[in-house]
Structure 1
Amino acid sequence: MTILESDIKLVATQVMDDVPEGGGAPTSIVIPDGKSNAIMKDISEVDRAQGDVSIMKVAATVQTLNTDTALGGTVGIARPPLDPNVSVALFVTNDFFDRRAAIQARMEAYTTPGEEFTGYLLANHVQGQKSLVIFQRPGATPPTVNSTLQISGGGNTDAVRLVSVKVESRTYSYSTSGSFVDYQAQVCVCELQNGLKHDFAGTPANRLFERTQTSAAINRMLVADAARFYGVSRLVVNAATGDLSVKVDRIDTQIAPTSTTEISITDTSAAGSSIALVRSGAGVVTLTTAALMGPNATFTLGNPFYAGTLSIATSAGTITDDGGRLKLGALTIGTASYVGGTLTFASDAPQITGTKAITFGPAAAPIELADSASIAVSAENRRVNYPLTILPPPAPGTLRVAYRAGANWYELADDGAGRLRGADSSIGSGAVDYTTGTVAPTLGVLPDVGSEVLYFWGGKVNYRDRSGTLPSAVLVRLALDSQAAQAGTITVDWNDGAAKQASDNGSGLLTGDGTGPVNYAASTIDLRPNTLPASSVAFTVGYSHGTPETKAFPAPARDVDGGITLNLGKTNIAPRSVALSWNLVLMSTGGVPADMWAPQNFASTKTITDNGSGKLVDGLGVEFGTITYATGVAKLYPEAVVTVPVPQWAVNQLGVLGTVLSPNLPGAFRNTLTGYTYVPLNATLPADASALVTADFRVAGAGTAKSQVFNQPKLSIQLLPNASEAGVPGSVNFTVGGKTYFDRAGSLYTDLDPATGAATQAGSYDYATNTASLDAWPASASSTVTVNSLLTSLNGQPVEYVVFRTPVAPVAPGTLQLLATKLNGGTINVTADLTGLISGANVRGTIEVSTGVVKVRFGDWVTAAGNESEPWYDPEAVGSDGKIWKPVPVFASTIRYNAVAVTSLPVDATLLGLDPVRFPADCRVPHFWKGGLVVIGNTRRLPAAVVSNGQTLDAGRERLSRTRLLGSDGLAIETGYTRNLDAGTLTVTDASAFAQPVVYEHTIEDMLTVTDVSIDGRLSFASRLSHDYAAGETFVSSVIRMGDVKARVSLLFDQQSWTGQWSDSLQGNPADPTFNDIDYPITVTNKGAVTERWRIQINNGGTTYNLIGEHVGQIVTGQSLSADCEPIGPSGVPYMRIPAAGFGSGGWPPGSVIRFNTVGATFPFVVIRTVQMGAVTVLDDSFELLVRIGVDRP
C-alpha cells in the first residue's frame, strides 16, 4: 500500500483564531481543498484601512493506515494572492504545541541584539517617551535614521526604531581639586517611531563616557538567521531548459503592513567624520602609581595613547594593550580606550599591589573628516574579499568598510590595532596595514549585486608631530599699559630671595639677570629670567613713554622703483619708535595650480621696525626700506619671502569605477593629498583695494616716566614658536622644571593621579598659537622645555572625490542637491537629474536612488595633450578618448546635500499583534537565501469541458509533476480517472460522480538548491532547469523542508515511580519488570499517531493501568494488562496499539511507570497573511499551499 495524493491532508490546530492562544497541537479536522476562509478569516474594511497581520498555525499530515514514509517532504506557497495589497508567507517553529504568542516571539527573532552601542542613555527615560538622548564621545559614530536599537535594563527590554537623529556638541564640566573643568561630548537626540514600553535608568554625563552598571544598556540590532520566512515570487523573464538561473519580480515578502512617507534630508554633511589616532611624540610618557589595580578599577593617563605602546610594569608581570584589550600575558584583564586615555579593568581581573610604572606612546585623537572610496559590486566581481590600497595610508582607528547585503547595510571598523571588526563576528573581519595602506576586508556574506562596498577613513597628512626639546622657550610676557616706550629707559626688577634686574640696551634687547626682546612701539617685553623665580614673585617695570601715533595708508601707490613712499605727517620722529605693518599676498603658488590650493597657515601680515639708524628691518635684520626721522618720510619695499606649507598631490589608482566618473578608463585615478612641504615663496602687498600699510611711531622728545607692577604674571611657553600650525586638543604634554603638564579642553594640569584622574590645574593652553600659560611652576627651574607630545594640524581638507550614502533610502529621483566650496573660491551647486546623473561645471557624479549611494568627482575632463607638466597628469590616467581628469578640489567640510527620501511607516504593534520594529524599516524580509530549496512551478488549465468514460485529456506537455481534476463546484475530484504524468495525459474511467464540466489542471516543476541571490531578483542554482518556463505565469517558491515524514514510537523506558516530570530520560530507578518491545512493540499508523509523550501508570493491584498523555490527558482508565489496548483517537483510528504480551506474565509493581513517545506523521507550520493599506482589488481572492512528498516506488 503506497501513499496516495488523497492521503496528504492539511489539518487545523486546536484554536484556529488569530488570538494569543491561537494554534496549539494539530487536530484531526481536515481543511478542505479550495474551501473559502478555511484557514484565514475574511479581510475586513478596518483591515484594509489600517493594515493587518494574521498568523495561523496549520499542519500537513500523511493519513495512511500504515507507517509508509513520505520521503523528503516540503511545503510552500505554490501561488500567491492576486490582490497586490495581500501577501502570504510561511514560517516554521518546529514546536508541535506552541501558540500564537510564542510564534510571534520566534518571528520577531528576525533581529537579535549585537554588541553594546558606543554611547549610553543620558539620564532616566520613562514609559511612553518617544525620544532617546544618547551620550557619546566627540566624533563617535551616531545612530542612523531607520536603525533599530535595543534598550535593556531593570529586567525589561525594548526594541526601538529611530525616525530622526539630531547630533549636538555640548559642553559639560566636572570638578577636580576645587575647580571646574569643561569637556565636550556628543549628544544624539533620537525621535522614536513608537514610545518606550518601560522605564529605563540612564547614566549622568561623565568625562570617562562610561555607563554605570545599574543603568540601561543600548545594543545595535542585527539581522539573525533565527527566523526565516518562506514566500513565492513571479518569474519575470522566460527560462529555458538547461538554465542555471532565473529572474523573479522580488526576493522578499511583506511581513507587516507599512505606509510610505517622504522625509526631507536637509543641509547634511557628505563628509563623515572619524576619530583618528595619530602618534604625537616619538618618545614615551611615564607615570607611576601605587594604587591597587584590580576588578572594575579605572586608570587615567591624561592623554590619548597609541595602540600597542602601553606597558605597565607590575609585581604580577607586564600589562600591555592589544587592540583595545589589556593583556597580562595571554590573559585579557580589561579594556583600553586609546582615545580617552583610560584603562578599565574587568570584574574578574586579578588584584595587583605595589608600585606600577606606566609608560605609553602619546597620541592625539583629532576628529578627522573622512575621505572615501568605493568598489562597485557586479555579478562578475561579487565575492567576500574586496582588498583596496589607500594612499596615503589611513590613520589608525579611522577606517570603516560598509557593504549592503540583503538590502541591509553592515559595517566593519578598524580597532586601532590593524584589525577590522563588525558589531558581530558574522558581519565580517579583516585587516588594515597602516604602512602600506592596504585594506583587506572579508565580508560576512556576499554583497548585493548593484551595490557598492564603501571605504571611509581619516588621513594623517594634515598632522605633524612637533615633540622635541626647546632650550629657551620659557618667558614672562609683560604688556605695558602705555605704548611708545622710549628705548633705553626700561628696567625690570624682581626679588626671588635676591634683588634681580634686567634693562633694555636701547636696541630692543634685555640684558642683566634676564634676556629677551622689547617691542618699543607696542610696549611689550618678553622676559626670560636667567633663573626662573617662584610664581608668587612680582615684577616692577620702570620706563618712559611718549604719545603713540598711528597712520594708515590704504592702497598706497607704487613709485617707479617699486617702492612706496609713506609720509607719516610728523617730523622729528623718535628713533626705535617706528613699526610698519602690511598685508601680504603670495606672488606664486609653488607650482601647484590655483584650483588645487588655498594658501593658509603662513604669516599673512609683515611687521618691521626701525633699527635706530634709519633702516627698516624685520626680526632677522633683513632690510625693507628706510625712515628719515627729521622729515617723517619712509620708503618701504613690501616684497618679502614667507615660508608656506604647500600641498603635495599625487595621482593614484584607487578602486575600479568604469562609470560616468571614469569613462574610457579601466580604473579610477584619484588625485590625493599626500602632505605639505614648507616652501619659501615670494609675497608682496596686494595690488588692489585690499592693500593696507599701518605705521605706528612717536615724535622725539622727553618721555613720561612711569612704573608698573605685575603681580604673579603667567609664565608663557611657546611650544611651536616658528610655525603657524594649530595644536590638536588632547595632544599637549610637556615637562618643565621637573613637572609634567598636559591639556584638557584648553586647560593645563599637572600632578596627575592615574587612579582617580584628579590633577592640579596649572594654567591654560592656546591651541591657535601653541602657547602655554602657567599660573604656577617650580622655582629656580631650568628654562629648557621637553615637549613629550604635541600634534599640530594644517586646517582644511581638500578632496576631489567623495562617496557617501544617504541615511534613508530610496531617494526620490531628481531631489538630490549637492553643494560644495572650491579651494580657490566659488560654490558648486548641482542637482541630480531623474536618471541619477550629476553633471555641472566642475562636477560629475551619480546617485543610485534605490540604495542612496552617491559618488561625485570635482573637476572636468580636459584634453590631456599639453598638460604633461601639471601635477594632476599621469599617462596611465589618460583615457582612450585622449581626455584626462583635471581636478578642482573642494573643502571636504563644505560638501553638503539636500534630498527627499521615501521611507515606510509600519502600523503600531498593538494593532498588529506583531512588533514591526523587529523587522527592516519597510517590513520586507527575504524569502530566498543561499542554500535554500526552491520549487519552480508552472500550472496551466485546459478549458472546462464535459467528459465521458474513456475520454483522454492531454496537457500538451510531458513530465508533469502533478495534476488535478476540478469540478464545476471548484472542488478537486479524487477518483474516477487514471493519470500518466510522463505523457501528460488523464483518462476518465468513471465520470458518474463528476460535477460537470471539469477542468484539467497540470503542473510542471523543478526543485533546486539556491547558490546565489541578487537584489535585482536573479536566483542562481546548483543544477539546471529540466523544463521551459514562461514569464508571468510561473512561480518560484521557497519551501520548508519537512524531511521524511512517518509515524513512529521514538522512545520507551520504564521507571519505578512517576516523579511528576515529563522527561525523556530515566528519573530514579528502573522498574523491576521490563516491557518487551523487542518481540511485542507498540505500533502506530500514520493516520492515528500524534506527537505526544505518554505514560502507562500501573494501578494498585498491579494488573491494570491508566494511559495518560502529556497534552491529551488521560485517555484510558483501568486497562487490563492481559488485553491489547487500542484507544481510538479523533481521526477515527487508534492512537497506537499496546500489545498485552509486552507486559509479560504476572502483574507489575503498583505505581511503576512505562514512558514512551510517539511521533505523528504530521508537520505543523505557520501561515502569515499581511494586508497592506489600500482599496479592494480582488473580491474573491485565494492563495495555494503545496505539500510535496516522495514515495517508494513498488
Structure 2
Amino acid sequence: MPIFESDIKLVATQVMDDVPEGGGAPTSTVIPDGKSNAIFKDISEVDRAQGDVSIMKVAATVQTLNTDTALGGTVIIARPPLDPNVSAALFVTNDFFDRRAAIQNRLEAYTTPGEEFTGYLLANHVQGQRSMLIFQRPGATPPTVNSTLQLSGGGNTEAVRLTEVKVESRTYSYSTSGGFVDYEAQVCVCELQNGLKHDYAGTPANRLFERTQTAAAINRMLVADAARFYGVSRLVVNASTGDLSVKVDRIDTQIAPTSTTEISITDTSAAGSSIALVRSGAGVVTLNTGALFGPNATLTLGNPFYAGTLSIATSAGTITDDGGRLKLGALTIGTASYVGGTLTFASDAPQIGGTKAITFGPAAAPIELADSASIAVNAENRRVNYPLTILPPPAPGTLRVAYRAGANWYELADDGAGRLRGADSSIGSGTVDYTTGTVAPTLGVLPDVGSEVLYFWGAKANYRDRSGVLPSAVLIRLALDNQAAQASTIAVDWNDGADRHASDNGSGVLTGDATGPVSYATSTIDLRPNTLPASSVAFTVAYSHGSPETKAFPAPARDVDGAITLNLGKTNIAPRSLALSWNLVLMSTGGVPADMWVPQNFASTKTITDDGAGKLVDGLGVEFGTITYATGVAKLYPEAVVTVPVPQWAVNQLGILGTVLSPALPGAFRNTLTGYTYVPLNATLPADASALVTADFRVAGAGTAKSQTFNQPKLSIQLLPNASEVGVPGSVNFTVGGKTYFDRAGALYTDLDPATGAATQAGSYDYATNTASLDVWPASASSTVTVNSLLTALSGQPVEYVVFRTPVAPISPGTLQLLATKLNGGTINVTADMTGFISGANVRGTVDASTGVVKVRFGDWVTAAGNESEPWFHADAVGSDGKIWKPVPVFASTVRYNAVATTSLPVDATLLGLDPVRFPADCRVPIFWKGGLVVIGNTKRLPAAVVSNGQTLSAGRERLSRTRLIGADGLAIETGYTRNLDAGELTVTDASAFAQPVVYEHTIEDMLTLTDVSIDGRLSFASRLSHDYTAGDTYVSSAVRMGDVKARVSLLFDQQSWTGQWSDSLIGNAADPTFNDIDYPITVTNKGAVTERWRIQINGSGTAYNLIGEHVGQIVTGQSLTADCEPVGPSGVPYMRIPAAGFGSGGWPAGSVIRFNTVAATFPFVVIRTVQMGAEAVNDDSFELLVRIGVDRP
C-alpha cells in the first residue's frame, strides 16, 4: 500500500508547553492541519511589550500500516508569519527524547569558546557585578563593544556581552632591591549587558602580564555553527526558468527579541595600534642558567626576542622557538612570548637538568600605530585568496587581516613567525613574508559581496637598529655648584685603591688619570677615568669661579653682511668664558614637498664658545664669528649646517579602493613612508619674533676658590650620541666592565636570573637622550661599552589613506565626523553626507553605514601633466581622465572620528528562557548556507467557489508540486477528489462532505542546492530553476533534511543476564539459546513503531517474559513464549510483532535477556517562534509548516 498525503502527520510531543520539561518523546496525538494554536499559545500583551521566545518540539510521522519508505523527506517553513514582529525558525537536535532545557543548551551552542583572550580578569569579581576589568599589555587589542567573551573558573562558565568598553592607561609599581619601579598597563573597563551569574577569582596586576593559573580565564567566543537554523525568506526580484540565482529580502532570522538604541562614538582613534616585533641587534644575547626545566617552569630573558632566533643548548637537545611554540626537535614542550621575553614550559614538558646556554636575537616590541589597506569585494573578484604586497614590509607580529562573511567579522593575525592564524582553524590561514612584504591570506569562507578585506599592520620605517653605533665614552658627570669656573683652576682627586688626580689644561680638557671635556661657562666636568673606580668612590673637585653673567638678545637685527652684532654690556670679558646659544630653523626641506615633510627633532639650538683667542667656534672648530674681550662686543654669523632625518617616500599600488575613491583607476596607488635618510641641511636664526640669542660669560678678574665633594656619582653612557632619536623601551641591552645591563620601564638591571626573573637594579635609562645612568658597575674593569641591542624611533607616522571599521554598526547616516592634522599643521574636519560620501578640502572618503567600514584618502585629484618631477608622481597612477592623486598626508595618531551608532539591546535571559548573549548582538542568525538545501515555492489560490461532482478545477499552470482543497471552515479536505499535478488539475468525485464554498490552492516548487550566499540576499544554486517565480508571493525556505524515513528494528542480541544498563552492545556473555530473527524477525509498522530500546526479560519459569522499554516502561507482563506478542500502542496499532517461533522450542534460562531497538517512522524537530517588541499587526496570524516526502511510484 503506497504512502498517501493523508499518511503524513505532525504529532505532538509529551509536553506541549514552553516550560523546562517541555518536549520529550513524540506521541500519537495528531496536530490538526490549519487549527489555531495547535502548536503555540496566543501572543499575550506582555509578550508584545517585552518580547518573547517560544520553543516547541513536534514531530513529522509516516502513519502507514507497513514499512514503506518516505524518500528524501524535508521539513520547511513554507510561509512566514504575516506580522513583521513575529518570526519562525526550525532547529534539529537529533535527540528523540530531549526536553526544553536540553534543547536550549543546544540552541546556545551557536557560539563556542575560542582562544584565550590577550588579557586577564583584574582582581576578584562577584555575582551580580555588571562590569569587569581586563588587564592587558599597553598596545594590546582591547575587546570591542557588542563582543562576547566567556569567563571560566572555579567550576563555573558563562558568556558575557560587553555594552561599553573604556580603555585606560594606568601606572603600577613593583618592588625591587632598589625600591619601587613603575610600569604601564592597559586596563579595559567593560560594562556588561547582564550581571555576572557567579563569582570569579581574578589575577593581581603584574609586570609580566601573566594570569594566575587558578584564576578565571577569559576566552573569545566564536560562531561555531554547531546550532543551525532553518527559516524562510521572501523573493524580492522576479525569477525566470533557467536562472541560477534569486534574490531574497533577508538571509537571516530573528532568534531572540531585541530593542534598538543609539549610542555615541566620540573622539575615537581611527589608527588601531599593534605591538610590533622589530629586531634591535644584529648579534645575539647570551644567558646561562642551571635551573631545572620541567612542567610549568618559566624563564625570563630580560628583553623581547625575535621570532626564530631562540636556541637553548641542553643535555636533551636544542630547544628552539617556532611561531610562539617551544620545540625540542619535533616535540612541542611549551610556549614563547616574544613580546614579554618569557618562556613557559607545558604541564607535560620533560625535565631537563644541567647547565644550559640560552642565546636569542634581541628585539623590541614598540606599540605601533597601524597602517591600513583594503580590497573591495565584488561579484567578479570574490574568492578566498586575497594576496597583497605591502611596501615597506610590515613589522613581524603586527599584521591583521579582517573580512566579513555572513554579516560576521573574522580576523587572521600574524604570529610573529610569518604565519597567519585565526582564533580557530576554520577562520582561515596564510603567510606573510617580512622581506618581500607579500601577504597571502586564505579566508575560511568566501567574503560577502560589497564588503572589504581589511589589512592592518605596523611599519618599520620609523625604527632603527642602533646597536652598531659607537657609544660615547663612559663618563662620570660632575656638575659644580657654581657656574663660570675659571680655566686652569680645576683639580679632581679620588682614591680607587690608589690616589688619582686630574686637572684641566686651561683649554677645556682634563689631563692626568682621567680625560674629558670641561665647560667653564656651565661648570660641568665629564670625567672619563682611565680605570673604572668602584661605585662607592667619592670625588673631590677644587676650583675657582667668577660671577656668571647672562644676557638675552631677542629677535636681534642683522647687519648688512648678515652678521649679528651683540654688545654684552660688559668690558674685559674673561677668555674661554663666553658661550652663545641661539635657536635654528631649517632653510629647506631637502626637496620634499612641504605637505609631505615629517617634522623631526634635530639640533635646533646651536651653542658655540670662544677659543680664548677671540674666535667663536663650535665643538668641531667651525668659526661663527669673533669676540673682542676688551669691549665686550661679539659678531655672530648664525647660519649653520645641521644633520636632519629627511623622510623618504615611495609610490606603490596597494589594495583596491573601488570606483568611488578611485574612479579612473582599477587599483590604489599609495604614497608610503619607507624610512629616513640623514641629510645635512642649512639652518639659521629665525627671521621673526621667535629668534633668541643668549650669552653666558664672565668678566675677567680674580676668582673665588671652592671645593666640592661628590659621593657615589653615577656612571653615564650615551648609547646613541649625536642623534635625536628616541629609544624604544625594552630594547636596551649593553655590556660594560663584563656586566650586561637591560632595561625595564626606564630602570636598568643586571645579574638576571632567568629561572626567577629576579635581577639587580643598577640604574636608570633616559630614552629621550639614550643615556644610561649606572649606580652599580664592576670596579677596575675595562670601560669599553658593547651595545647588544638598541632600537630607536623617529616621531610621527604619516598616512595618506586609512581604512577602519567602527566598533559598533550600523551607524546612522550623516553622523560620521572625521578629524585629522596635516603634516604642515593644518586641520581637516569633515562630516559624511547622508549617502556615506566624505568630501572636503584635501579629503575624500566613503562610509558603509551597515558595516561601519570607513575608507578615507587625504589629498586631491589634480592634473597629472606638469607634475612629473614630483616625488608622488607615478606614470601608472595616472587615471584615464588624466588625473593623479596628490597626497596631503596626516599624522596617523590624529585621525579621530565621532559617530552615532545603532545597537541592539536583547531582553534579559531569565525572561526569555534563552540567553541572547550566545547569539549575535542583534540576535539574528543565518538560515541559508553554502551546500544547504532550499525549496522555492509559489502558492496561489482560486477564488472560493461551490463545486459539484465531476467538476474540474484548473490551476492555469503545470507541473505542480502539491495542491489542497480548503473548505469554508478553513480545514483541509482530504478526500472526494482526484489530482493531476502535471496538468495542474483537480477533479471533484464526491462533494457531499465538503464545507462549501471551497478554495483550490496550488503550489509550484523547486528544490535546489545552494552554492553561494551573499549578504545582499543573492542566493546561487547548483542547478537551474524549472519554473517562473513572482516576487512578493514566492518564498525561499531552507530545508531540514529528514532523510529516508521508515520504521525498522535496528538492533537485536541476546544477553545472559540484565545488568541494569541500557547498552547497544553485549555486556557479559550471550544467552543460550538465541532468538531466531533470521527466520522469524520482529516486525514493525510505520504507524505503530516508536523509537525505543527494548528488553525481553525471561521470567523465573523460563517459559514467559516481560516486555520493557527504556522510556515507555513495562508494557507486557507474563507473555508466553509460545504465543505471538503484539502489544497495542497509543496509535491504536501494535508497537511491534514478536513471533513466538523465534524463541524456538523449550524454555529459556531464567533471567536471560533479549535486547532489541526499534526506530519509528518519525522525525522530531523544534519550532521557534520569536516575538519582537511592538504592536500587533495582524489579528489572526499564522505560518505554514510543510513536511515534504518522496514516494516510490508504483
CA RMSD after TM alignment:
0.9
- Pairing 1:230-249 to 2, within 5 Å after superposition: 230-249=230-249
TM-score by length of structure 2 reads: 0.99
- 128 and 724 in structure 1: CA distance in 2 versus 1, 3 angstrom threshold: same
Q: State the Cα deviation string for residues 777-828 of structure 1 (Å, max 9, x = none).
A: 1112222100000000101111111110000000110110111111100111
Instruction: Report SS of the residue matched to 2:167.
Output: strand
- 605 and 178 in structure 1: CA distance in 2 versus 1, 3 angstrom threshold: closer
Report the counterpart of residue 46 of structure 2 in structure 1: 46
Q: State the Cα deviation string for residues 1069-1093 of structure 1 (Å, max 9, x = none).
A: 1111111111111111111111111
The answer on whether the counterparts of 1:146 and 1:161 sit within 8 Å (CA) in structure 2 is: yes
Query: How far apart are 1:119 and its partner, in Å?
Result: 1.2
Cα distance between partner residues in 2 of 1:599 and 1:848: 34
Cα distance between partner residues in 1 of 2:217 and 2:762: 37
Cα distance between partner residues in 1 of 2:639 and 2:879: 43
Deviates more, 1:999-1008 or 1:659-668: 659-668
The answer on whether the counterparts of 2:493 and 2:540 sit within 8 Å (CA) in structure 1 is: yes
Q: State the Cα deviation string for residues 172-208 of structure 1 (Å, max 9, x = none).
A: 2222336322222211111100011001111111222
Q: Does 1:570 align with 2:570?
A: yes
Report the counterpart of residue 797 of structure 1 in structure 2: 797
Cα distance between partner residues in 2 of 1:72 and 1:753: 69
Instruction: Report SS of the residue matched to 1:468.
Output: coil
Q: State the Cα deviation string for residues 845-898 of structure 1 (Å, max 9, x = none).
A: 001010000011111111111111110001111111111111111111111111
The answer on whether the counterparts of 1:931 and 1:1009 sit within 8 Å (CA) in structure 2 is: yes
Q: State the Cα deviation string for residues 239-284 of structure 1 (Å, max 9, x = none).
A: 0000000000000010000000111111111001111111111111
Report the counterpart of residue 493 of structure 2 in structure 1: 493
Report the counterpart of residue 262 of structure 2 in structure 1: 262
- 650 and 178 in structure 1: CA distance in 2 versus 1, 3 angstrom threshold: closer
Q: State the Cα deviation string for residues 633-673 of structure 1 (Å, max 9, x = none).
A: 11111110000000000000001223222120121000000
The answer on whether the counterparts of 2:376 and 2:658 sit within 8 Å (CA) in structure 1 is: no
The answer on whether the counterparts of 2:661 and 2:845 sit within 8 Å (CA) in structure 1 is: yes
Cα distance between partner residues in 1 of 2:874 and 2:678: 24
Cα distance between partner residues in 2 of 1:1058 and 1:603: 94
Instruction: Report SS of the residue matched to 1:470.
Output: coil
Cα distance between partner residues in 1 of 2:365 and 2:783: 29
Deviates more, 1:1047-1056 or 1:44-53: 1047-1056
Query: How far apart are 1:700 and its partner, in Å?
Result: 1.2
Report the counterpart of residue 951 of structure 1 in structure 2: 951
The answer on whether the counterparts of 1:400 and 1:414 sit within 8 Å (CA) in structure 2 is: yes
Cα distance between partner residues in 2 of 1:62 and 1:295: 59
Cα distance between partner residues in 1 of 2:178 and 2:1126: 88
Cα distance between partner residues in 2 of 1:289 and 1:1139: 79
TM-score by length of structure 1 reads: 0.99
Cα distance between partner residues in 1 of 2:586 and 2:324: 46
Q: State the Cα deviation string for residues 586-637 of structure 1 (Å, max 9, x = none).
A: 0000010011113212101111111111111111010111111111111111
Instruction: Report SS of the residue matched to 2:469.
Output: strand
The answer on whether the counterparts of 1:809 and 1:903 sit within 8 Å (CA) in structure 2 is: yes
Query: How far apart are 1:561 and its partner, in Å?
Result: 0.7
Q: State the Cα deviation string for residues 330-349 of structure 1 (Å, max 9, x = none).
A: 11111111111111111111
Cα distance between partner residues in 1 of 2:315 and 2:774: 37
Instruction: Report SS of the residue matched to 1:1154.
Output: strand
Deviates more, 1:103-112 or 1:201-210: 201-210
Instruction: Report SS of the residue matched to 2:608.
Output: strand
Q: State the Cα deviation string for residues 333-380 of structure 1 (Å, max 9, x = none).
A: 111111111111111111111111111111111000010001111111
The answer on whether the counterparts of 1:58 and 1:1166 sit within 8 Å (CA) in structure 2 is: yes
The answer on whether the counterparts of 1:264 and 1:901 sit within 8 Å (CA) in structure 2 is: yes
Report the counterpart of residue 445 of structure 1 in structure 2: 445
Instruction: Report SS of the residue matched to 2:426.
Output: helix
- 178 and 622 in structure 1: CA distance in 2 versus 1, 3 angstrom threshold: closer
Cα distance between partner residues in 2 of 1:1048 and 1:51: 43
The answer on whether the counterparts of 2:472 and 2:721 sit within 8 Å (CA) in structure 1 is: no
Instruction: Report SS of the residue matched to 1:1134.
Output: coil
Q: State the Cα deviation string for residues 127-155 of structure 1 (Å, max 9, x = none).
A: 00111111112211111111101101111
The answer on whether the counterparts of 1:473 and 1:719 sit within 8 Å (CA) in structure 2 is: no
Report the counterpart of residue 919 of structure 2 in structure 1: 919
Query: How far apart are 1:394 and its partner, in Å?
Result: 0.4
Deviates more, 1:509-518 or 1:266-275: 509-518
Identity over aligned residues, as a percent? 92
The answer on whether the counterparts of 1:658 and 1:664 sit within 8 Å (CA) in structure 2 is: no
Query: How far apart are 1:722 and its partner, in Å?
Result: 1.3
Deviates more, 1:234-243 or 1:1135-1144: 1135-1144
Query: How far apart are 1:694 and its partner, in Å?
Result: 0.9
Cα distance between partner residues in 2 of 1:1069 and 1:753: 64
Deviates more, 1:128-137 or 1:55-64: 128-137
The answer on whether the counterparts of 1:177 and 1:758 sit within 8 Å (CA) in structure 2 is: no
Cα distance between partner residues in 2 of 1:894 and 1:13: 62
Q: State the Cα deviation string for residues 754-799 of structure 1 (Å, max 9, x = none).
A: 1111111111100000000011211122221000000001011111
Cα distance between partner residues in 2 of 1:658 and 1:1140: 78
Report the counterpart of residue 192 of structure 2 in structure 1: 192
The answer on whether the counterparts of 2:333 and 2:349 sit within 8 Å (CA) in structure 1 is: yes
The answer on whether the counterparts of 1:503 and 1:510 sit within 8 Å (CA) in structure 2 is: yes
Query: How far apart are 1:472 and its partner, in Å?
Result: 5.2
The answer on whether the counterparts of 1:469 and 1:784 sit within 8 Å (CA) in structure 2 is: no
Instruction: Report SS of the residue matched to 2:475.
Output: strand
Q: State the Cα deviation string for residues 37-93 of structure 1 (Å, max 9, x = none).
A: 000000000000000000000000001111110000000100000000000000000
The answer on whether the counterparts of 2:960 and 2:1002 sit within 8 Å (CA) in structure 1 is: yes
Report the counterpart of residue 862 of structure 2 in structure 1: 862
Deviates more, 1:530-539 or 1:1000-1009: 530-539
The answer on whether the counterparts of 2:174 and 2:182 sit within 8 Å (CA) in structure 1 is: yes
Cα distance between partner residues in 2 of 1:489 and 1:825: 50
The answer on whether the counterparts of 1:1128 and 1:1134 sit within 8 Å (CA) in structure 2 is: yes
- 567 and 178 in structure 1: CA distance in 2 versus 1, 3 angstrom threshold: closer
Cα distance between partner residues in 1 of 2:287 and 2:1174: 69
Q: Does 1:1093 align with 2:1093?
A: yes
- Pairing 1:1016-1095 to 2, within 5 Å after superposition: 1016-1095=1016-1095
The answer on whether the counterparts of 2:472 and 2:719 sit within 8 Å (CA) in structure 1 is: no
The answer on whether the counterparts of 1:472 and 1:783 sit within 8 Å (CA) in structure 2 is: no
The answer on whether the counterparts of 2:598 and 2:647 sit within 8 Å (CA) in structure 1 is: no
Query: How far apart are 1:471 and its partner, in Å?
Result: 7.0
Cα distance between partner residues in 1 of 2:424 and 2:679: 48
Q: State the Cα deviation string for residues 225-248 of structure 1 (Å, max 9, x = none).
A: 210000000000000000000000
In the comparison of the two structures, how many residue pairs are matched? Answer: 1194
Report the counterpart of residue 905 of structure 2 in structure 1: 905
Deviates more, 1:469-478 or 1:659-668: 469-478
The answer on whether the counterparts of 1:395 and 1:459 sit within 8 Å (CA) in structure 2 is: yes
Cα distance between partner residues in 1 of 2:472 and 2:961: 94
Cα distance between partner residues in 1 of 2:903 and 2:1077: 63
Cα distance between partner residues in 2 of 1:470 and 1:736: 13
Instruction: Report SS of the residue matched to 1:867.
Output: coil
Query: How far apart are 1:994 and its partner, in Å?
Result: 0.7
Cα distance between partner residues in 1 of 2:1099 and 2:712: 102
The answer on whether the counterparts of 1:469 and 1:785 sit within 8 Å (CA) in structure 2 is: no
- 152 and 570 in structure 1: CA distance in 2 versus 1, 3 angstrom threshold: same
The answer on whether the counterparts of 1:13 and 1:23 sit within 8 Å (CA) in structure 2 is: yes
The answer on whether the counterparts of 2:752 and 2:759 sit within 8 Å (CA) in structure 1 is: yes
Deviates more, 1:1157-1166 or 1:177-186: 177-186
Query: How far apart are 1:469 and its partner, in Å?
Result: 6.5
Query: How far apart are 1:924 and its partner, in Å?
Result: 0.1
- 806 and 469 in structure 1: CA distance in 2 versus 1, 3 angstrom threshold: closer
The answer on whether the counterparts of 1:14 and 1:27 sit within 8 Å (CA) in structure 2 is: yes
Deviates more, 1:876-885 or 1:1010-1019: 876-885
- 1039 and 472 in structure 1: CA distance in 2 versus 1, 3 angstrom threshold: closer
Instruction: Report SS of the residue matched to 2:229.
Output: coil
Deviates more, 1:2-11 or 1:492-501: 492-501
Cα distance between partner residues in 2 of 1:1055 and 1:862: 90
